[in-house]
Amino acid sequence: MSEREKPPGKGTAESHGQYISAIYRHMQILISAELAPYRIGSGQYIFLMAIAFREPITQKALSESLLIDKTTTAKAIAKLEAEGYVRRETDPADNRYQLLYLTEEGREVVPKVRQALDRVKGKTRQGISDEEYDVLLRLLKIVLRNLSGREGKPE
């Protein structure tokens, strides 16, 4: 089987897709382990951090800024609420909206989550200079924009 030679164009050859998915899966595992003590899963921490940063915020706004389906958001928020980190309050001006706030426990756990995420980031960033990391982020942003037609605004 000798299909080892790369086509010259932008054909098959190596692709970012496989790296992206492997990195994603492994990061999920790492983050799950780091956040297990707080009973926050890999599907919830993004929302927790985003709420901390933009409180009060609706689920719709969260979904859009994180580029995550609204039903996924609903379920993640439900878990964070069940754990006592987030509180929902119906917007009195429009009862369709649920305004999300951190609870006291939420405010206490956020710095710990941030530290855990920084540990993961630091580990996965090893061997990459600040300049290279900037390039990486810039290119990932382009890929994401190509996929979503929007900017993603994490954190």
Partner DNA sequence: CCAGATAGGGTGTTATTGCAACTATTTTTT
Partner DNA sequence: AAAAAATAGTTGCAATAACACCCTATCTGG
Residue list 59-88, contact with a second copy (CB under 8 A): 66-68
Q: Does 10 bind a second copy (CB under 8 A)?
A: yes
Q: How far is CA 46 from CA 3, 10, 42, 110, in A?
A: 41, 34, 8, 11
Q: Which of DNA, a second copy, none interacts with 151 (beta carbon under 5 to 8 A by kind)?
A: none
Looking at the Cβ atoms of 39 and 114, the one nearer to a second copy is 114
36 binds, among a second copy, DNA, none (CB under 5 to 8 A by kind): none
Contact in structure between 100 and 56 (CB atoms under 8 Å): yes
Q: Which of residues 56-115 bind DNA (CB under 7 A)?
A: 58-60, 63, 68-72, 74-79, 88, 94-98
Q: How many residues bind a second copy (CB under 8 A)?
A: 60
- Do residues 58 and 75 touch, judged by C-beta distance below 8 A? no
Interacting residue with a second copy among 5, 15, 94, 95 (CB under 8 A): 15
Stretch that binds a second copy, among 33-41, 51-59, 75-83, 84-92 (CB under 8 A): 51-59
Residue by residue, DSSP assigns the chain as ----SPPSSSSSS--HHHHHHHHHHHHHHHHHHHHGGGT--TTTHHHHHHHHHH-SB-HHHHHHHHT--HHHHHHHHHHHHHTTSEEEEE-TT-TT-EEEEE-HHHHHHHHHHHHHHHHHHHHHHTT--HHHHHHHHHHHHHHHHHHHSS-----
Which residues of this chain interact with a second copy, rule CB under 8 A?
Answer: 1, 3, 10-28, 30-31, 46, 53-55, 66-68, 114, 117-118, 120-128, 130, 132-133, 135-137, 139-144, 146-148, 152, 154-155
Which residues of this chain interact with DNA, rule CB under 7 A?
Answer: 21, 25-26, 28-29, 32, 41-44, 58-60, 63, 68-72, 74-79, 88, 94-98
